[in-house]
Amino acid sequence: MLDWIIEPLSLAFMQRALLLGIFLGVLCAIVGSYMIVQRMGMLSHAISHSVMAGLPIAYVLGLALSIGALVSGVLSALVLYLIESRSRVKTDTAMALILTSFVALGVTLVSVLPGADRLDLVHILFGDILGVTMKEIWWTLAITVVGIALTRLFFKELLFYTFDPKGAQASGLPVRLYNAALIVAMTVTIVVCLPTIGALLVVALLVSPAATAYLLVKELHQMMWLGSFIGALSSVLGMYLSYYLDSPSGAAIVLVSFCFFCLAFIFSPSDGLLSNLWMRQKRAKLADR
């Protein structure tokens, strides 16, 4: 058993992948917790695909792909907000428009811009956590630490805004600024995850650990702590599963995370299927008396 644990750790690329997976698990859980309570899960899905439009431009200009992804992601969120606030089109329809249009724009730019066809779209869609460098690990750690610090610093204001946006606005809090900050935080998290688990799987890592914690605890700060632990543990177990089954790492991490959600969905003391079934049976027995 001990050899089973130690063997992958002897490889440098596994050490880097495990470190990065832990950092990403924590970062995604913190941002994902706000996404869950704000019902912004589908927005993250739209942004994760919209970032593809900025990648060919950044590649051709010789810029870091993360810069193009960040600009494109924020721009897609702004266009979405503009459509939603200035027309009768509902949010879900606007998201579908933005997602498909920005993906189509990215694919078109790859084929039109000179040299952009050398961009590896498969790597962008599915990621490659085993190919990460120490530079990417340090950047991810820095962003994670900044995210934790900002969350701790503005936790009370964000908590007020999250659960009572109208009350927060009436009390003078800059509600639009907080909303924009959450969108930027979501986009930054997606951009950080792109090289490792890819655009198709990043939403699952954002949503699944936070959703699992949401079924188990009631307080937002507890949700963040538990979600961070679940996210980090999912990354570690997913990497080991990927190593021994020779399967894609990003997909393995997401599947492990979903397994944790299924366990919480069934066995949660307050919201699980079994507890709800037991409560219904208990009420039925009381009603028969």
Here the tokens at position 150 are 């900002």
pLDDT tens for the chain, 289 residues: list them.
677 878 888 888 888 889 988 998 999 999 988 888 887 777 777 888 888 888 888 888 888 888 888 888 888 888 887 887 788 888 778 888 888 888 898 888 888 888 877 877 777 777 777 778 888 888 888 989 998 998 889 888 888 887 777 887 788 888 778 877 888 888 888 888 877 777 777 888 888 999 999 999 988 889 999 999 999 999 999 999 988 888 888 888 889 999 999 999 988 887 777 877 777 776 666 666 6
CATH number (domain holding residue 44): 1.10.3470.10
Residue numbers of the domain that contains 179: 2-288
Sign of the dihedral through C-alpha 135, 137, 141, 147: positive
Q: How many domains does the chain have?
A: 1
Work out the widest C-alpha separation in the chain, in whole angstroms.
Answer: 79
The pTM is what?
0.85
Helix/strand/coil (H/E/C) assignment for every residue in 193-256: HHHHHHHHHHHHHHHHHHHHHHHHCCCHHHHHHHHHHHHHHHHHHHHHHHHHHCCCHHHHHHHH
Amino acid symbol at 65: L
